Structure 1
Amino acid sequence: MVSPRLLFAAPASGSGKTTIVCGLLRALKNRGKGVRAFKCGPDFIDPLFHETVVGVPSGTLDLFFSDRDQLRRLFCRHAAGAEISLIEGVMGYYDGLGAATDRASSYEVAKALDAPVVLVVDSRGQSLSALAALIGFLRFRPDSRIRGVIFNRMSEGVYGALKPEVEKLGLRSLGYVPRAPEVMVESRHLGLVTPGEIEDLGQKLDVLAALLERTVDVDGLLKLAAEAPALIVPPAPPLPILPRTRIAVARDEAFCFLYRDNLDLLEDCSAALTFFSPLHDRALPEETQGLLLPGGYPELYAAALSANEPMRRSIREAIQGGLPCLAECGGFLYLHRELEDMEGRFHPMAGVLDARAYRTSRLGRFGYITLSAREDTAFLPVGESVRGHEFHYFESEACGDALHAQKPTGNRGWDCGHSRGNLLMGFPHLYYPSNPKLIERFLRACAKEV
Structure 2
Amino acid sequence: METKILPRILIGAPGSGSGKTTVVCGILQALINKGLNIVSFKCGPDYIDPMFHKEALGLESRNLDLFFNDKETINYLLAKNSKEADLAVIEGVMGYYDGLAGKSYEASSYDLARSTKTPSVLIIDCKGKSVSILAEIKGFMELESDSNIKAVILNRISPMIFEEIKKLIEETLPIEVLGFMPMIKECSLESRHLGLVTAQEVGNLETILDTLAKQVSESIDLDKLIRIAKTASKIEFIKPTIACGERVRIGVAKDKAFCFYYQDNLDLLSEFGAEICYFSPLEDKKLPENLQGLYFGGGYPELYLKELEKNDSMKQNIKDALSAGTPCMAECGGFMYLHEVVKDKLGHAYKMVGTIEGESFYADKLVRFGYIDMEAEKTNLLCEEGMHLKGHEFHYWDSTNSGDCFHAQKPLRKMNWKCVIGNENLYAGYPHVHFYSNIKSAERFVDICRKRKTKI
* Superposed displacement of residue 49, structure 1: 1.4
- Pairwise CA distance, 1:53: 4.0
Which residue identity does 1:196 align to in structure 2?
Answer: Q
Match of 1:369 in 2: 372
CA displacement, residues 236-273 of structure 1 (integer Å, 9 cap, x when unaligned): 23123322101111111111111011011111101110
Residue 93 of structure 1 corresponds to which residue in structure 2?
Answer: 96
CA distance in 1 between counterparts of 2:157 and 2:13 reads 15
The letter of the residue matching 1:432 is F
Give 1:80 deviation, angstroms: 2.0
Select 1:388's aligned residue among 387, 391, 396: 391
CA distance in 2, matches of 1:321, 1:129: 65
Cα distance in 1 for partners of 2:242, 2:12 equals 34
Distance apart, 1:192 and its partner CA: 6.1
Question: CA shift at 1:197, angstroms?
Answer: 2.1
Per-residue deviation at 1:218? 1.3
Most deviating of 50-59 and 36-45: 50-59
Percent sequence identity is 44
Q: What is the distance in 2 between the residues matched to 1:427 and 1:367?
A: 11
Q: Aligned partners of 1:323 and 1:112: how far apart in 2?
A: 40
Counterpart among 267, 270, 286 of residue 270 in structure 2: 267
Alignment of 1:56-95 (within 5 A): 56-95=59-98
Higher mean displacement: 313-322 or 191-200: 191-200
Q: How far apart, in 2, do the equivalents of 1:344 and 1:171 lie?
A: 55
RMSD value, Cα:
1.6
For residues 385 and 151 of structure 1, the distance between their equivalents in structure 2, rounded to whole angstroms, comes to 43
Contact 2:196 2:300 (C-alpha < 8 Å) held by counterparts:
no
Mean CA deviation greater in 370-379 or 295-304? 370-379
Query: Does residue 1:174 correspond to 2:200, yes or no?
Result: no
SS of structure 1 residue aligned to 2:259: coil
SS of structure 1 residue aligned to 2:252: strand
Does the 8 A contact of 1:37 with 1:54 survive in 2? no
Shift of 1:189: 12
- After the TM superposition, which of the residue ranges 46-55 and 81-90 deviates more from structure 2? 46-55
Contact conserved, 2:327 with 2:381, CA < 8 A, in 1? no
Amino acid of the structure 2 residue aligned with 1:116: P
The answer to whether the 8 Å contact 1:57/1:260 transfers is no
1:399-434: CA deviations, max 9, x gaps? 111111111112211001101441110000010111
* Secondary structure, aligned partner of 1:176: strand
1: CA distance, partners of 2:275 / 2:194: 31
Mapped contact 1:149–1:171 kept (Cα < 8 A): yes
Residue identity opposite 2:202 in structure 1: I
Aligned to 2:302: 299
Greater CA drift, 296-305 or 187-196 = 187-196
Task: Say yes or no: does 1:379 pair with 2:385.
Answer: no
> What amino acid sits opposite 1:208 in the alignment?
L
Q: Distance in 2 between matches of 1:163 and 1:379?
A: 53
Scaled by the length of structure 1, the TM-score of the pair is 0.97
Matched, 1:419 2:412: no
Asked if 1:31 corresponds to 2:34, the answer is yes
Q: What's the counterpart of residue 447 of structure 1?
A: 450
Q: TM-score, normalised to structure 2's length? A: 0.95
Match of 1:254 among 229, 254, 257: 257
Aligned to 1:183: 187
- SS of match in other structure, 2:255: coil
After superposition, the Cα gap between the structure-2 partners of 1:289 and 1:123, relative to the gap in structure 1 and judged at 3 Å, is: same
Quick one: distance in 1 between partners of 2:431 and 2:192? 20
Question: How far, CA to CA, are the matches of 1:34 and 1:439 in structure 2?
Answer: 30
Q: Which residue of 2 aligns with 1:326?
A: 329
SS of the counterpart of 1:147? strand
In 1, Cα distance between the equivalents of 2:323 and 2:194? 31
Cα distance in 1 for residues equivalent to 2:267 and 2:315: 27
Specify the alignment match of 1:233 in structure 2.
237
Question: Is the Cα contact below 8 Å between 1:373 and 1:403 reproduced in 2?
Answer: yes
1:49 and 2:52 aligned:
yes
CA distance in 2: counterparts of 1:237 and 1:177, whole angstroms: 42
Q: Does 1:406 align with 2:418?
A: no
SS in 2 for 1:333: helix
CA shift for structure 1 position 104:
1.3
C-alpha displacement of 1:342: 4.1
* Aligned residue pairs, count: 449
Amino acid at match of 2:382: F
- 1: CA distance, partners of 2:376 / 2:444: 14
Once residues 57 and 389 of structure 1 are traced to their aligned partners in structure 2, the CA distance between those partners, rounded to angstroms, is 23
What's the secondary structure of 1:232's corresponding residue? strand
Cα deviation, residue 361, structure 1 = 1.5
The one-letter amino acid paired with 1:103 is E
SS of residue in 1 equivalent to 2:183: coil
Partners of 2:370 and 2:393 within 8 A in 1: yes
Deviations 1:322-351 (A, max 9, x none): 110000000001011111234442211111
CA distance in 1 between partners of 2:234 and 2:102 (Å): 33
Q: Secondary structure at the match of 2:216?
A: helix
1:200 is displaced (CA, Å) by 1.9
**Counterpart amino acid of residue 139 in structure 2:** G
Q: CA deviation at 1:52?
A: 2.3
What is the rounded CA distance, in whole Å, between the counterparts of 1:240 and 1:178 in structure 2? 51
- Hey, what does 1:112 align to over in structure 2? 115
Identify the match of residue 208 of structure 2 among 181, 186, 204.
204
Q: What code does the residue aligned with 1:159 have?
A: F
Distance 1:317 1:244, change over 3 A: same
Compared CA separation, residues 147 and 252, structure 1 to 2 (3 A): same
User: Which deviates more, 240-249 or 260-269?
Assistant: 240-249
Distance 1:181 1:13, change over 3 A: same
Q: Distance in 1 between matches of 2:128 and 2:143?
A: 23
Structure 1, gaps ≥5 residues long: none
**Alpha-carbon displacement from aligned partner over 1:209-256 (angstroms, at most 9, x marks no partner):** 11111111112111111121222222x231233221011111111111
Q: Structure 1 residue 126: deviation in Å?
A: 1.2
Distance in structure 1 (CA, Å) of the matches to 2:132 and 2:99: 25
Q: Does structure 2 retain, via aligned residues, the 8 Å contact 1:116–1:224?
A: yes
Deviations 1:362-383 (A, max 9, x none): 1120111011111222431111
Is contact 2:409-2:415 (8 Å) kept?
A: yes
Q: Distance in 1 between matches of 2:200 and 2:439?
A: 32
Is 1:219 the equivalent of 2:233? no
Q: Residue 290 of structure 1 contacts residue 325 of structure 1 at CA under 8 Å; is this kept in 2? A: yes
For the residue of structure 1 that corresponds to 2:342, the secondary structure is strand
Contact 2:193 2:202 in 1 (8 A): no
